[in-house]
Structure formats: structure tokens, C-alpha cells
A and B are shown apart, each in its own frame.
Chain A
């Protein structure tokens, strides 16, 4: 029987299955999740431990780049919460602790939220993500030759920790301290372009960033003031070394010379420090008026050094030499002072009218200076009479500066028309100024721009009760000029959102979002449209039966005039994407807590990169003893890229686990 015939039978059987499931669910008795008592604490939680088997077919590297779930025993999830009455717990009266994906999965998280009323609150998060990326078609300079090595790949571990402790010694004063750390380490592959050839480099990523912050919050009856002082530090000690064949990607000679990289070593040393100061004030002086203001000042600076030594046979067109080795020593420094201020005020002059003003301003500049010294060894002249120069030293002092200023003010008024209808209208004014100054090895250059945008805003929402919500928003923007070619320039954006809940257990939803952006300037000719339509249905019959369906249709079309670098001839960059996202899940409690869930989520896309991405799943939960249950699940990931079958993969994941609750 063909897959199509099977599909038709399944579609026909679906309504019968729904009816059967509903009848079974009605007959069964759902078991409420039981909690437990631990001293003064009432507890609730679930721990799931299991074993996962994985079989894959097709491109394993693509599977790892997108899914990367592996085989073995796992702590799949753990959610525990404890609650005690006010003052009943000794060290804490509430605790929430969750863990996901421990035991070898590429994404491990741990979250802790601990507190005692009127004493303290501690929040901690730890996250480890293994970012594996090996996509044969991405930035592969050999793709045209049909060689599928991913020359740009990563296998980097990111670790993020965030801890914040807030103390409540009195009702009005709340000091707090926080610490965050983010680090990345691991190998990767990259390319280095030398003259008309490029060579494979092995990168060794190693960086860490620490953030320290502390401050105090003053909470008065009508106002609240928070003062915060923080410091961010980044250390980057990454390195790179030659990793590929010495002949590189291009075996052909260049100006009669075969370009060869025999050895390369590169090391980075970067130290960034940034003190950050923040003031936040919230004031509600009288009923109907609230004001929130914030000012942030940061002063980041980076000291960097890079050294590189390479040997082989190279050509420098700038120096018109052939050389056998080169040593680079680079030191640089950049600073970025930044000011940011916000002021949001909401005022109700009369009962039905609310006026909001939102002012946001941002101002910074980045100035960088550097000294580069390159020593060429084994030098021969590229053309002209032969020389005897064995060594040449070249120094440069490139620098750059970027200034940025932006002021944005939005004023909006809401009017309550009664019967649950609120209409609003407003105006936004944005002025952005930017100047870029490059000075590269003696050359000078600068570019600057100033853009002024006027945006009209209208909208409404209708909320007659919990059973219905309808909102509509439209904004239309005019600007005198864009700062970059693909900026939002003359655009219109429409959002429509409708939610219906005709019965308590059923909700229906529809959303439409359309963005149309144009820039008719003859050297840009930008015309882009983004349209998204979404429909959703959610039905729940208590804990016994749950059905959820959603469909999202996205259409992106973009035409931008470009210039071909070789000839400067005008051309167009076309991008088309037609994506249908389909999702659904169905769960039913069959008999005394025995539960079956299955669903599907898929992406079907045509356009410039046609592909399908299927993710069906099914799981069954069988209660064993009072707090234990068996769970078995199957999940499938299937990726199919039309015209690039070498990237396709299929993965079946079967997991058997024990659930304690």
C-alpha cells in the first residue's frame, strides 16, 4: 500500500478515533496529580529519568547541527516546587527547582528560585548549550566543485550562569546583588584567504565574560527608585592554526606562483571592561498618572592584541612582493561610551481617556585605534628588476570611529468607547544620526547620514468578555531617507488578532500580520512584503482530553536592486519564501491515568530554499504504582532540502522513562 493510500485511510479514520477517544476519556477516571508533604512544606513535582535510543539515516552532521539529541541514559526533566505558609519555613518558604536534559544532551538547564517572604529572594539559572554546526552548503568555497566539506563549522560549548539575590531587610529598602557568567569554548573550522587562495584553519574558541552588579531599590508609597552599578568583563584568548592541506582550495598558480601555506599560528588576547550605571525611577504621584524613567551610562573599553606567524609561499599585491614567511603583531584599543535614557508617562485626564508618551534616546560612539606591524621574510620582488631584499617591515595605524544618536518619541491616546471597545491613535517621531569614519593605512574616509521618520499609529481592541478578544493595529511610516539600504523606509504594518472562546474548554484564534516596505530610490528599488496568517484551535476536556491544532502561512517576497561587484552592473536580489507551518497535538486519558499523546509539527517551504522539516511524535504514559509511571515516546525528525539531497537526514528517537510525581 502506498504512503498516499495510508494517509487517506488515516484521514478517514480520524473523526472515528476522536469519538472513540472522547468516549474512553469519559469512561476513565483521570488521576489528579498528587503532591507530598515534607515537614512544613507542601510539595509538588515530577522527575523523569529514562534511556533514549537514536537511529539516524542520511547526513549525520546535519542531524547534529539541527537536533543533536544523542543516545544514552538521561535525566529528562525534573520540576520540584515546595511551598510553606508565611514564616513556616526555616530557610525558605518557597522553592522552585527545575532541570532539563542532563546526562549527555546538548542542552542542559537548571533553574532555581528560592525565597522567604519579607527576607530574600534568590534566582539562579545555569544553561549549557552545545552548539554543533556543520552545514555542507554554508559558506563553502568548494561547493561549486561539488565538494561537501563544511569549511565553516563549530563544536562549541556555551555555558551561561545567572544569579541574583534580593534582600528585603525592611519594607522600603531592598538591596540586591547579581552575577552572570557566559563562556564559550571548543573547536571550529574557518578559512583564511591569502591572495587568490584560501586555507582551512582550526579555531580554538575560548572566551569568558563576567558581569557583576549590585544596587538598591527604595520603595516608597508613591515612588520607587533603583540604583544599580555593574561591571562587565570579557576575556578572549582564542587561537587558530593551519589545519588543511598546504595547497589550500586553489591549486592553480597566481601570477606564476603556487600559493602554499605550510604553517600558521594565531593568537588573540582581548580584554574588555565596561562599568555600567543605571538609575530607574517609577512614580505614581496621583491616581491616573504614572511616570517611569531610566538612565543608563556605560563606558566599555577593549584592549586587544593579536599575533600571527605564517610560512609558505605567498604574494602581497599591496607590497608587490613574493615572500616566504610573515609575522603580524597587532595591538588595538577601542572605547564605547554610551548614554541611554527613557521616560514613559501615562496620564488619564478624564475617566475614559489615557494619554501615553514614550521618549527614548540613545547616544554612543565607538572609537578604535590600532597599530599593525607586519614583517615579511624571504622577500623577492614581484615584478621589475630583481632585488636582494630579504626582509621588509610594514606598519600601519588604521583607526575607526562611529557616532550614533537616536531620539524617538511616541505619543498615543486611548479612548474607551464603552461596551469593551477601546480605540487608540498616536504618532511616533524618530531621528537617527550616524557617522562612520574610517582611516585605513593612511587613507581617510567618512560617511554620515541623518534619517527622520514620522509614523502614524491607529488601533483598537474589543473585549466584551473572556469569550472574545479582537485587536487591530496599523502603522504607517514615512521617512526622508534610510540610513542603510534595507532599513524600514516607507512602510505600512497591519496586525489583526482575533480570539474566541465560545465555550470554556474551546478556544479559536486567528492572526494576520502584514508588513510592506518600499524604497523607490533608483539605486535601491526596494520592495518587500512579509505576510503571515495564523489559525489555531485548542480544546481541552479537563485533564482527560486535549486537542490543539495550528496552521501558519508565511509569505516573504523581497526585491532589492544591487550592483554586481565585478562590473558595477545593476541587478536585482530576489528572495521568495512560501512556508506553511502545521502543528497539532492530541492527548487523551484512556483509563485511570493511562494517557496517550501524539502530534505533529512540520514546515513545508517552497521558494528560494525549498525544504520540508517533519517532526511527528507519540507517547504513552502508564501509571505503575502510586507515584510512579512508565512513559515511552517516539519522535521523528526528517529534513529534506530539495535540490540538495546530500543535506537530508532522518532521525528516530525512542525513549523509555520512569516518571516520579
Chain B
């Protein structure tokens, strides 16, 4: 296989970064709210917090965020303050909730970016988070995550992930009750199998396949191609040009109830667009021509037929 110049450059970068990364490694990474920050000045310890919040502090030992106090990378003595901010005023004024960050405030995303993103903002899963729809609509992390009292172990979610999504996305919830659908209600799939809820660099909060192509190809890899003969419309647009991915009333989750209707809406002679007109022997009065995929069976692309017939 011939490697192009760009590919060789990437390989060199990957290979070169491995030793560099290990040499640069340090066992201690400062938490953004570590001793140099505001946290220690006039701070209260976790033991102080436990006087009133005993159960919460006890349960916190098994919380993933316990690394803040236990891990040699952080070793914070007052990890509560790393998220809730300085607690001295809250303690001094007898537990006044207005003197500490309770995460029950306005809850706009911007209010909490400074709480969660200093640590999590560099996670791969959050790359491009700012451009994601949830972030653009001001939704905060605590809309979906419950840090102390999560009933779902994974990712400290408030609810099982599908239920959590359907809590807001009613239309999609209803789409999954349609007769032709992906098997999400049966728990065979999760919304997060196809979507990256944090947004990200792929638009539509979709989770791309390995080559940053359609998320559909994560499972339907036989349709990813490349094909010797590509169905141009599908490559230029996406699977959504013909299918409703959540659920549809039409067979095969198509956008239209009959095959010819779907095909002819694109394949009719027009100027200035990429299209083609079926030849005149396609007699639409006959059911065999009404169903284009009777002959054009390899409609997603073919390696052996320019007309997608095998």
C-alpha cells in the first residue's frame, strides 16, 4: 500500500510522541483548585463538612471524585471546596446556602463551566463541547449528572441513559414507538451508541465512526464503502437523505411510504442539480417498476454494477 505524505507525517507524529509523552510524565497534576488557588485560603476541611453532611461525606469515599483527596495526583484535603467553592462563610453563618455553591442556582451552563470544565474540559469526550447543542442552549452538567446521589452507577447519571434523554426529547421518545425503529426501547441500544450528548466536533451530536464518517457505519459497516460505484446522493448527503434513523411509519425506516416516491423525488430531470432520470422503459404502472429496489438491490453502493443491480 502506498502511503501518502500526510499519512506518513501522522505516523511520525504518533511514533515520536510516545517517548516524549513518557519523558514529560509527572505523577502529580495540579487540580485547577489546588492549594495555589482560592481553595485553601480560609477554607474548611472535609471533616468540617462532615459535621453536618456526614452521610454525604461518607458516601463520597466510593464516588469517582474521591480521587481528589485520595489520589497522589491531587491530594486535596478539602475536596468539597474544589466544586462547591470556599465554605468558610457558609460554615460561619450556620449553613447559609446562599454562601456556597449548591448547584441549585440558576443552573445555566455558564454558571458551572468554571466548576466542571477545569478538570473535565480536556476529556476527549468533551472536545468541541462548546459548539454542541446542549452547551449552546445553556444546559449545565447537573442537568444530566447527579454527583452525590446518582442512582445509576455509570457516569453518575441521574437516570438510566435512555430515560434521561427521553425526559426532554419527547419527539424522539415517540419516534421509538413507531412500527419501524431501532431497538432502543428494548434496551438493545442506547441513545449514546449513536450520539455524543456533550456535543463535540461532529455536528448533530452524532458519534462518528472510526474514519469520522456517518455514525450509522459504527454498526452498518458493510454500507460504509468505498464502493467502485458509489450512490453519489448518499455520499454527498447522508443516510438521513432516505431514512429516519429513530423510527418511521414506513418500512425500512424510509422517509416515504413507497419506494418509487422516494427515488423519483431525487431522480427526475432537473437543471443545475446532481441527478439522473430513469430511462423510459420504467413503466410506473407495473408494480415491478414501482419498487425500484426490485432490480436496484445494491442501492447503497456496488462493487460490480454501475446501476446497483448486484
Contact = CB atoms under 8 A, between A and B. Distances in A.
Contacts of A270: 303
B61 A86 contact: yes
Contact of A141 (B14, B235, B284, B288): B288
A92 interface: no
Nearest to A238: B222
Nearest to A145: B287
Contact of B10 (A117, A229, A461): A229
A229 B269 CA distance: 44
Contacts of A306: 303-304, 310
A246 interface: no
A550 interface: yes
Given A221-B30, A226-B124, A565-B278, A521 B270 contact: yes
Nearest to A605: B249
B153 A81 contact: yes
Q: Which 5 residue pairs of A and B lie closest in terms of their CB atoms, listed nearest first?
A: A581-B174, A107-B188, A368-B228, A86-B70, A170-B25
B136 A412 contact: yes
Contacts of B303: 268, 270, 302, 304, 306, 330, 332, 334, 368, 370
Interface in B235-274: 235-237, 241, 249-252, 255-257, 259, 261, 264-266, 268-274
| Interface size classification for chain A | 35 or more
Interface stretch (B48-56, B81-89, B100-108): B100-108
B287 A143 contact: yes
A542 interface: no
Given A461-B137, A550-B173, A484 B25 contact: no
Contacts of A511: 170-171
B229 A224 contact: no
Contacts of B3: 299
Interface in B277-309: 277-284, 286-295, 297, 303-304, 306, 309
A336 B107 contact: no
B71 interface: yes
A542 to B, nearest CB: 12
A389 interface: no
A171 interface: yes
A615 interface: yes
Contact of A227 (B4, B13, B168): B13
A535 B173 CA distance: 12
Given A152-B297, A282-B127, A565-B283, 4 more contacts: A118-B67, A333-B228, A465-B106, A485-B275
Contacts of A497: 137, 168
B261 A182 contact: no
B29 A481 contact: no
Interface string A136-172: 0111111111000001100000101000000001111
Contacts of A609: 249-250, 257
B201 A292 contact: yes
A424 B183 CA distance: 37
B266 A172 contact: no
Interface in A366-411: 366, 368-370, 372, 398-400, 402, 404, 410
Contacts of A566: 280-284
Chief secondary structure at chain B's binding surface:
loop
A117 B3 CA distance: 39
Contacts of B153: 44, 81, 83, 94, 96
Contact of B106 (A127, A144, A399, A420): A420
A567 B280 contact: yes
A173 to B, nearest CB: 4
Contacts of A399: 228
Contacts of B284: 564-566
B130 A344 contact: yes
A84 B294 contact: no
A249 interface: yes
Interface string A111-144: 0010001100000000101000101011111111
Contacts of B201: 292, 294, 342, 344, 360
Contacts of A360: 201, 203
Interface in A171-194: 171-173, 175, 180, 182, 184, 190-193
B27 A171 contact: yes
Contacts of B235: 366, 402, 404
A573 interface: yes
B194 interface: no
Given A113-B154, A583-B173, A484 B236 contact: yes
A273 to B, nearest CB: 7
B291 A171 contact: no
B46 to A, nearest CB: 13
Contact of A101 (B187, B227, B271, B292): B187
Given A358-B131, A565-B284, A603-B174, A277 B252 contact: no
A550 to B, nearest CB: 5
A622 interface: no
A60 interface: no
Nearest to B24: A172
Nearest to B126: A282
Contact of A221 (B29, B259, B268, B287): B29
A471 B73 contact: no
A275 B104 CA distance: 47
B177 interface: yes
A29 interface: no
Interface in A505-544: 509, 511, 513, 521, 523-524, 532, 534-536, 538
Contact of B121 (A42, A216, A284): A284
Contact of A87 (B70, B107, B130): B70
A368 B226 contact: yes
A523 B270 CA distance: 6
A487 interface: yes
Contacts of B251: 135, 137-138
Which of B14, B71, B294 gathers most chain A CB within 10 Å?
Answer: B294
Contacts of A61: none
Interface stretch (A14-22, A205-213, A587-595): A205-213
Interface string B137-166: 110000000000000011000000000000
Nearest to B259: A139
A218 B24 contact: yes
A568 interface: yes
Contacts of A227: 10, 13-14, 17
A294 B10 CA distance: 12
A209 B213 CA distance: 15
B189 interface: yes
B154 A563 contact: no
A232 interface: yes
Given A292-B201, A523-B270, A609-B249, A193 B21 contact: no
A8 interface: no
Given A100-B188, A144-B286, A193-B294, A290 B121 contact: yes
B273 A449 contact: yes
Nearest to A570: B268
Nearest to A62: B179
B177 A602 contact: yes
Given A139-B293, A603-B177, A279 B25 contact: no
